[in-house]
Chain A
Amino acid sequence: MNVPDISVYYFGAISLILIGLYAVLVKKNLLKMLVGLSIMETGVNLLLISVGYVSGKSAPILSEGIGPKGAVDPIPQALVLTAIVIGVATTAMALSAAIILYERYGTLNVEEIRRLRG
């Protein structure tokens, strides 16, 4: 089993995704699981951005000195712009669900939140 030779950006992005996955799997506090979800989102966004990087080229804003040949891939950046906003939206929804859960049950421990209570 040889270790694959990947860039440090890919490694960091994969590590962020896995750290978030670990938090979601292991942690019992709901807020910590949501922090894990946010870390996972960050990892995915970093992975998308680093796939589009072209070494030695600059940001895709065409101006004096930066022509169409001197810019990195703009598509992953557009995708990540969308993904960030969706991440914020889902986090806001999940946080308000957490607020409701704490009011109903008095705890945020996912093992104690069992039955639906009116």
Chain B
Amino acid sequence: MLKRSLAIITILIIGYWLAQSLAGVPFGEDKMLVGQYYLDHVKDQTGAVNAVTAIVVNYRGFDTLGEVTVLFIASTGVGALLWRKRKKRTAKTEGSVVLTTGSELLFPFVVLFGSYIFIHGHLTPGGGFPGGATIATAFLLLYMAFVSYEIPHKAFEKTEGLAGMGYVLVGLTGLAIGGYFLFDWIWQTWQWGTGNIGRLFSGGFIPIIYTLIGIKVGTELSGIIDNMLKEEVRE
């Protein structure tokens, strides 16, 4: 009881302090400095109409590289923590026929929609991370519906590494052509797609990088699901 009341008092003090400092930040007013520059120049500098994905991939591409690294380390860490010699799924009860048939039918649609999200990252809301998470959801669906489903490990882990390497290679190509890492060589040097901003074949290297990120995130999250759902078999 004492512990709880002490915690509540501390939290109320912290909350009052946070609210006091946030009272100086007006809500709903225009506070943009760099943001306005990005909005004004996003179309002719990157070719994307979605300003958020242009910032994430193009203007602040290093953030995304770090983010992908964090996700990769998390997936490796989960694999290392849950490493066992013999692992098997421990689900014992079969799902109903409606569940298994339903998820079999839904699976291609979910994968298709996930691919749609990451391919159209420069035009519509979304991008690599939501698209990749959607694809991982499709694999989660299979894991939940079937007792014995398992992702094809060899193909998955190689695809994950190759997609990550592809991202770095695109950045290094920019270094070779334009002089700095993650330079948008497709847009700035080749001028490819400059005529049709707002259509699919535009946006410089944003769709390419987002496709790589989507594949990487999808396989990584599926691998995390796979590691967490398996247990050691004891004889």
Contact = CB atoms under 8 A, between A and B. Distances in A.
B179 interface: no
A62 B63 CA distance: 23
Nearest to B59: A78
A4 B20 contact: yes
A50 B40 CA distance: 22
A116 interface: no
Interface stretch (B3-11, B111-119, B154-162): B3-11
B11 A21 contact: yes
Interface in B149-174: none
A47 B33 CA distance: 19
Q: How large is the interface on B (under 10, 10 to 19, 20 to 34, 35 or more residues)?
A: 35 or more
A58 B79 CA distance: 42
B71 A89 contact: yes
B49 A63 contact: yes
Is chain A's interface secondary structure helix, strand, loop, or mixed overall? helix
Contacts of A51: 25, 31
A18 B17 CA distance: 12
A71 B125 CA distance: 14
Nearest to B20: A4
B195 interface: no
Q: How large is the interface on A (under 10, 10 to 19, 20 to 34, 35 or more residues)?
A: 35 or more
B74 A92 contact: yes
A85 B71 contact: yes
A71 to B, nearest CB: 6
B136 to A, nearest CB: 10
Interface in A84-104: 84-86, 88-90, 92-93, 95-97, 99-100
Interface string A1-37: 1011111011100110110011001100000000000
A62 B51 contact: yes
Contacts of A89: 70-71, 73-75
Contacts of A95: 228
B8 to A, nearest CB: 7
A79 to B, nearest CB: 8
Contacts of B198: 63
B97 interface: no
B27 A6 contact: yes
A65 B23 CA distance: 33
14 contacts: A15-B15, A26-B7, A52-B31, A54-B31, A55-B29, A60-B52, A62-B39, A63-B198, A74-B39, A74-B52, A75-B35, A81-B52, A85-B67, A97-B81
Interface of B: 3-4, 7-8, 10-11, 14-16, 18-20, 22-23, 25, 27-32, 34-36, 38-40, 42-43, 49-52, 55-56, 60, 63-64, 66-67, 70-71, 73-75, 77-78, 81-82, 123-125, 127, 129, 198, 217, 221, 224, 227-228
